[in-house]
DNA sequence: TCTGGGGTCCTAGGACCC
DNA sequence: TCTGGGGTCCTAGGACCC
């Protein structure tokens, strides 16, 4: 006998905008956009009233204002988003410990083991929605199904402020008429390619042999997409997933990549990244920089160290070298629009890492910086930041060349 | 519509090893 | 010495998600 899982996908509607309307009643029922000047002129989230005019997340503020002249811009309160998102997740934990949070405003719940306590999956979904609205005041949409993927499709269909339950056995009929764009993993490019093949609905995709679209999407994507269209999804709800990379980036409009600019920007970004790495107790081996040019084309350069690290000076210097290489390879590009870096190949910063340094017979060619000194500096910085906040001090010049987004917004944005 | 920041996964070629 | 096959790691790019 096959055990059926019962999965909820819960998604807070227009999360940032809903929080603003919750905290300031004067904004309720008005078209508002979170973002604007502090976020590089980009709309991070739009209320449903604004969406009715076509305003979307990711859109430039100017464009949004054109679509909706009465649009109100609010600057956003990131700490409040975090607090309220956490409060919602805490309510979820009253129903089941099996909560997989996939972003600030979204989570999967496996309620298979909670049915004897709280009733059917649909009952649990209704109770969860009621409690979140009564206790927090935010609308939560939920999809209920036997797989994660289908639950997510269902929650998209349920929005705004709705509940959609896909009964076991009814999966095929539910999915068939829906557009392929609702499938997880189908973005603009894939959608266009499939449309060219005459495939527009999930049902049409389900009837397609993977071999027929393999050359379009690659073997892996073709197979998994057809599987999803047929509701073949055996992923389980995972309570904790460890991060695979930590990064930071900064858009700069249109800047001449002088050495001073490159060094100071990468210094700022490196400190953000290494501080987060160290606060998680992580170190990483591979450093990747990303350089985006004025025309929005982008390149990456990476380097893998012999030993994992979270040291600011070491990582910053490697980022500068990689960035110089990338710029050198593209002499025709005179301006950059973004610099970014990411540390991957993560591992726990346990004793092994430190021992490897202490007993290394010869320094590695690419890790000649004094590791003890580097770590001592980082530790001192961490302690100061802990007491006085992250703005308090920097390894490099206190005068940051950073001109990008407000720090509070360097986090997930709603799409 | 010329657009922010933080992530994940996949592909493909080349180096290298057994 | 020449040849083949398989596996892993690294690098660079791309698509996608929130």
Q: Are A273 and A313 in contact (CB under 8 A)?
A: no
Backbone angles phi, psi at A257, to 5 degrees: -80, 65
- Kindly determine whether the C-beta of residue A402 is less than 7 Å away from any atom of nucleic acid strand B: no
A380-407 burial, b at 16+ Cβ within 10 Å, e below that, comes to ebbeebeeeeeeebbbbeeeebeebbee
Strand A282-293 to A336-348 pairing: antiparallel
| Cis, peptide link before residue A160, omega less than 30° from 0 | yes
d(CA A196, CA A179): 14
Name the residue among A19, A7, A14 with its Cα closest to residue A141.
A14
SS3 content of chain A, % helix, strand, coil (to 5): 45, 20, 35
| Confidence (pLDDT) at A188 | 94
Q: How far is the CA of A294 from the C1' of B3 (A)?
A: 12
Q: Which of A34-48, A56-70, A246-260 has the highest mean pLDDT?
A: A246-260
Contacts for A163 with CB less than 8 Å, ≥ 6 apart: A122, A125, A126, A129, A141, A142, A143, A144
d(CA A250, CA A404): 6
What number is the average pLDDT over the span A171-179?
A: 97
Closest residue, CA to C1' of B8 = A244
| Confidence (pLDDT) at A324 | 97
What number is the average pLDDT over the span A83-91?
A: 97
Handedness of CA A122, A128, A133, A139 (dihedral sign): negative
d(CA A50, CA A34): 11
Q: How far is the CA of A309 from the C1' of C4 (A)?
A: 40
Handedness of CA A329, A332, A335, A338 (dihedral sign): negative
Closest residue, CA to C1' of B5 = A410
d(CA A349, CA A285): 11
Share of chain A above pLDDT 90, in %: 75
d(CA A48, CA A35): 15
- Most distant pair of Cα atoms in chain A: their distance: 68
pLDDT tier at A177 (50, 70, 90 boundaries)? very high
What number is the average pLDDT over the span A204-226?
A: 91
| Confidence (pLDDT) at A413 | 47
Q: Are A290 and A249 in contact (CB under 8 A)?
A: yes
Q: How do residues A95-142 score in pLDDT, each as one tens digit?
A: 999 999 999 999 999 999 999 999 999 999 999 999 999 999 999 999
Handedness of CA A105, A408, A347, A249 (dihedral sign): positive
Beta bridge partners of A304: A286
- Kindly determine whether the C-beta of residue A221 is less than 7 Å away from any atom of nucleic acid strand C: no
- Kindly determine whether the C-beta of residue A415 is less than 7 Å away from any atom of nucleic acid strand C: yes
- Kindly determine whether the C-beta of residue A342 is less than 7 Å away from any atom of nucleic acid strand B: yes
CA of residue A96 relative to chain centroid, distance: 24
- Kindly determine whether the C-beta of residue A286 is less than 7 Å away from any atom of nucleic acid strand C: yes
> Could you give the dihedral angle defined by the CA atoms of residues A36, A41, A46 and A52, in that order, rounded to the nearest 10 degrees?
120
| Confidence (pLDDT) at A38 | 64
Of A residues 272-301, those with CB within 7 angstroms of nucleic strand B are 272, 276, 296
Please state which of the ranges A47-51, A267-271, A411-415 shows the lowest mean pLDDT. A411-415
SS3 category, A37? helix
Q: How far is the CA of A302 from the C1' of B16 (A)?
A: 19
Residue A375 pLDDT greater than 90, yes or no: no
A370 to A36, A311, A355, A375: CA distances (angstroms):
44, 10, 14, 9
Strand A245-255 to A336-348 pairing: antiparallel
- Kindly determine whether the C-beta of residue A157 is less than 7 Å away from any atom of nucleic acid strand B: no
Please state which of the ranges A13-17, A75-79, A338-342 shows the lowest mean pLDDT. A75-79
Name the residue among A318, A296, A303 with its Cα closest to residue A368.
A318
Q: Are A38 and A45 in contact (CB under 8 A)?
A: no
d(CA A224, CA A199): 16
> On chain C, which bases lie within 7 A of the protein's CB atoms?
9-18
- Kindly determine whether the C-beta of residue A220 is less than 7 Å away from any atom of nucleic acid strand B: yes
Give strand ranges (E) for A158-293: 163-165, 245-255, 282-293
Provide the annotated active-site residues of A.
Answer: 106
> On chain B, which bases lie within 7 A of the protein's CB atoms?
1-12
What number is the average pLDDT over the span A22-50?
A: 89
Residue A194 pLDDT greater than 90, yes or no: yes
Write down the pTM of the prediction. 0.89
A38 to A42, A43, A75, A76, A91: CA distances (angstroms):
9, 10, 7, 9, 32
């Amino acid at each position: 006998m096959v055990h059926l899982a019962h999965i909820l996908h819960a998604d807070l509607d227009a999360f940032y905008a809903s929080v603003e309307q919750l905290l300031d009643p004067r904004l309720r029922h008005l078209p508002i956009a979170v973002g604007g000047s502090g976020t590089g002129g980009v709309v991070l989230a739009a209320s449903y009233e604004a969406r009715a005019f076509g305003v979307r997340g990711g859109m430039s503020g100017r464009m949004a204002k054109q679509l909706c002249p009465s649009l109100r811009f609010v600057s956003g309160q990131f700490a409040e988003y975090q607090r309220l998102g956490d409060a919602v997740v805490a309510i979820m934990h009253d129903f089941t410990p099996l909560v997989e949070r996939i972003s600030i405003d979204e989570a999967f719940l496996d309620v298979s083991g909670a049915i004897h306590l709280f009733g059917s999956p649909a009952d649990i979904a209704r109770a969860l929605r009621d409690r979140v609205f009564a206790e927090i005041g935010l609308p939560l949409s939920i999809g209920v199904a036997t797989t994660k993927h289908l639950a997510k499709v269902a929650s998209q269909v349920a929005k705004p402020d709705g509940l959609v339950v896909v009964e076991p056995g009814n999966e095929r009929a539910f999915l068939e008429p829906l557009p392929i764009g609702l499938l997880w993993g189908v973005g603009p490019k894939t959608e266009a390619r499939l449309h060219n093949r005459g495939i527009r609905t999930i049902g049409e995709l389900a009837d397609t042999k993977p071999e027929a679209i393999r050359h379009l999407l690659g073997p892996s994507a073709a197979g998994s997409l057809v599987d999803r269209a047929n509701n073949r999804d055996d992923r389980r709800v995972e309570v904790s997933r460890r991060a695979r990379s930590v990064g930071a980036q900064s858009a700069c409009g249109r800047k001449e990549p002088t050495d001073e600019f490159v060094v100071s920007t990468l210094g700022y970004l490196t400190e953000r990244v290494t501080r987060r790495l160290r606060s998680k107790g992580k170190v990483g081996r591979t450093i990747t920089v990303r350089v985006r040019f004025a025309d929005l084309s982008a390149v990456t350069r990476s380097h893998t160290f012999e030993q994992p690290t979270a040291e600011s000076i070491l990582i910053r210097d490697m980022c500068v070298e990689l960035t110089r290489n990338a710029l050198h390879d593209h002499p025709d590009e005179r301006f950059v629009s973004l610099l970014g870096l990411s540390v991957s190949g993560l591992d726990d910063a346990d004793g092994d890492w430190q021992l490897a340094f202490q007993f290394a017979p010869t320094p590695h060619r690419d890790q000649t910086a004094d590791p003890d000194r580097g770590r001592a500096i980082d530790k001192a910085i961490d302690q100061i930041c802990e007491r006085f906040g992250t703005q308090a001090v920097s390894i490099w010049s206190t005068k940051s060349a950073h001109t990008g987004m407000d720090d509070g917004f360097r986090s997930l944005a709603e799409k």
